[in-house]
Amino acid sequence: MINYVTGFMFSEDKQYVVLIRKRTPSWQNNKVNAPGGKIEKGESIEQAIVREFHEETGVETRQADWKTVITLTRPKLKKIYFLCCFSDQVYLAKSMEKEEIFLSKVAELPDNVVPNLRWLIPLILEEHVFINIPIDYVSVK
């Protein structure tokens, strides 16, 4: 099973989020997602998001800044940990690699976001919702 992290850094006022225009994997080409990537062998979830977020945005964070909010599992294939933090360091994020990093208003997400961002972002920002169980999903193909 391959494990991934995806990190949503929101501004303190929850009005902005750091996003990335993806090139890879191919199904995400030219789509918008949050920064993240594979968890390397021996890394914790928090170590992975600190590393990935810094590599892609140039913003340095600490493990304690991040909170795992949702875990999606495709049994025997992959597990994706979605983490968030709230910091005005969003205004420091910049492109560090070939994929474009940019700040988006939460209320005005681009049209070409990966589909799950349309429900993940509102769910993460909903203060009255608490999910403490992993969500398993299966392909309907």
pTM, full prediction: 0.89
**pLDDT tens string 40-97:** 999 999 999 999 999 999 999 999 999 998 888 888 888 999 999 999 999 999 999 9
What pLDDT is recorded for position 39? 97
Angle, vertex CA 122, rays to CA 64 and CA 137, nearest 5: 85
Question: Which run of H or of E encompasses 18?
Answer: strand 16-21
The beta strand positions in 27-137, using DSSP E, are 32-33, 36-38, 67-74, 78-86, 100-105, 135-136
Q: Which two tokens mark 67?
A: 């909170």
Six token digits for residue 9: 């850094």
DSSP structural state of residue 14: S
Q: Report yes or no: 10 and 125 within 8 Å, Cβ to Cβ.
A: yes
The ranges assigned to domains in the chain are 2-136
Q: Which residue, among 85, 75, 94, has the nearest Cα to 139 in the 3D structure?
A: 75
User: Domain 2-136 sits in which CATH superfamily?
Assistant: Nucleoside Triphosphate Pyrophosphohydrolase (3.90.79.10)
Q: Check if the beta carbon of residue 123 is closer than 8 Å to that of residue 70.
A: yes
Residue 78: strand, helix, or coil: strand
Of the pLDDT bands very low, low, confident and very high (cuts 50, 70, 90), residue 137 is low
Q: What average pLDDT score do residues 5-16 get?
A: 97
Does position 139 have pLDDT exceeding 80, yes or no?
no
